Amino acid sequence: MTAARDAMQFLSEFPHVRLCHTILYERLAWQKSILEGRSVVELRDAKAYTEMKLLYEEIFDGGIPQVETDPKP
């Protein structure tokens, strides 16, 4: 978890970057899904599926505030 903590600390220096609360851990399921051309949902890996579901819900169900993409000068 140190790498994730280091990344969060580094990214906190950029106020225009907003982090998700969901963490996608390094799992064999991600590698397998890439090699097979499938999603982790299709592989039915419970942990990877749950992480992806939480990330999806956080982004698309309003968990992340919308940010202007065109900053004013």
* Residue 59, domain extent: 21-63
Look at residue 15 and tell me if it is in a domain. no
Report the number of distinct structural domains present in the chain: 1
Closest CA to 28 of 16, 43, 17, 18: 43
pLDDT of residue 65: 52
Look at residue 11 and tell me if it is in a domain. no
Look at residue 3 and tell me if it is in a domain. no
Residue written as token pair 């903590």: 5
Taking all residues of the chain, what is their mean pLDDT, rounded to a whole number? Answer: 81
In this prediction the pTM is 0.66
Look at residue 53 and tell me if it is in a domain. yes
Look at residue 69 and tell me if it is in a domain. no
pLDDT of residue 64: 53
Look at residue 70 and tell me if it is in a domain. no
pLDDT tens for residues 11-46? 889 988 888 888 888 899 999 999 999 988 888 889
Q: What are phi and psi of 39, to 5 degrees?
A: -90, 165
